[in-house]
Amino acid sequence: MRGAVVINGHLCNDSFREPADMIVQAGSRAGIPIEVFHNTDLTVPIGDEEAFHEKLGDCDFVVFWDKDVKLAKNLEVCGYPVFNCSECIRVCDDKSLTHLTLADYGIPSIRTLASPMTFGQPLGDWVKTAQDILGYPMVVKDCFGSFGEQVRLIVDETDLMNESSDPVPKIFQEYIECDAEDIRIEVVGEKVVASVKRKAADGDFRANASNGGTMAKYVPTEEEAILAIDAAAAVQADFAGVDIINSPEGPVVCEVNSNAHITNLKNATGIDVSDNIIRHIVNLIQ
């Protein structure tokens, strides 16, 4: 058995390379050679199985640690088992689709508005609709973004109107007071394998470690664990980092990450979930 792991050819810093290296090392521990490929090195005509074989060689599975949905889909079209699948990547990459999918499965999540399609035109006065429905404060996130980037806390109409000239697809969310904390639960194969509580840096409301937040090992409640497992299943994830906030009504899903940063998770918990990921994939394809 041999595998491949795909990362982005334009994002080559350590934070993007380290998870791929962890997957390679987990494969080595399992006796499975795994090679790293950049998405830019796998450009082949759609549906051309022979062209993929020339690049990948004998490859039994692909761990897709990127958001290049079209490449993931082309690999699937050509018969390669891809983890996570292209549909999971598509849904998780677009925060509006994530919350629509969660709602479709009846999974509690943050009250969310998706900005209307504007065909590249500014949102304009529509943003006042968000004001009328959500009030202040609220949180605005670009639909496409990672590491807590492109996330803003909106406290008044002046902040809100700054969003009106931007045509980028966004979600507008109710602000939930949670003491700047959230929970990241890593799910692999419908099982919780690791969990941390994250705390935002002073003066910030985003709990991401990449923004200076701190992480500590955490044991989720049964309700939180079930919520994370259900959320991962809803987006068709074989593995996912599920972010949960505890609201006054109970835990709700904030985001589902199809390629969560497992290096920070290992540093905080001592658990290398890449081993869980490889074992899960092997069990599925054997």
CB atoms within 10 A of CB 278: 26
Give the chain's domain count.
3
Q: What percent of the chain has pLDDT over 90?
A: 83
Identify whether 134 is part of a domain.
Answer: yes
> Are residues 118 and 200 located together in one domain of the fold?
no
Give the chain's length: 286
Whether 80 and 165 share a structural domain: no
Alpha carbons 60 and 80: distance in angstroms, whole number: 7
pLDDT, tens digit (0-9, with 9 covering 90-100), for 161-208:
988 888 899 999 999 988 889 999 999 999 999 999 998 766 556 555
228 and 130 inside one domain:
no
Q: What is the pLDDT of residue 256?
A: 98
Is 52 found in the same domain as 126? no
For residues 252 and 186, membership in a common domain is answered with yes
Q: What is the DSSP string of 36-83?
A: EEEGGG----TT-HHHHHHHH-S-SEEEE-S--HHHHHHHHHTT--EE
Q: Is 184 inside any structural domain?
A: yes
Q: At what angle do helices 262-269 and 14-29 cross, to 10 degrees?
A: 70
Q: Are residues 199 and 240 in the same domain?
A: yes
The residue segments making up the domain with residue 34 are 3-84
- Shared domain for 161 and 227, answered yes or no, is no
Q: Are residues 64 and 94 in the same domain?
A: no
Kindly tell me if the per-residue pLDDT of 279 is higher than 70: yes
Do residue 198 and residue 94 come from a single domain? yes
CATH number of the CATH domain containing 152:
3.30.1490.20
User: Which region holds residue 124: left if phi is over 0, alpha if psi is between -120 and 50, else beta?
Assistant: left
Lowest average pLDDT, out of 9-13, 33-37, 211-215, 244-248, goes to 211-215
- Between CA 182 and CA 196 the distance in angstroms is 9
Q: Are residues 44 and 136 in the same domain?
A: no
**61-81 pLDDT per residue, tens:** 999 999 999 999 999 999 999
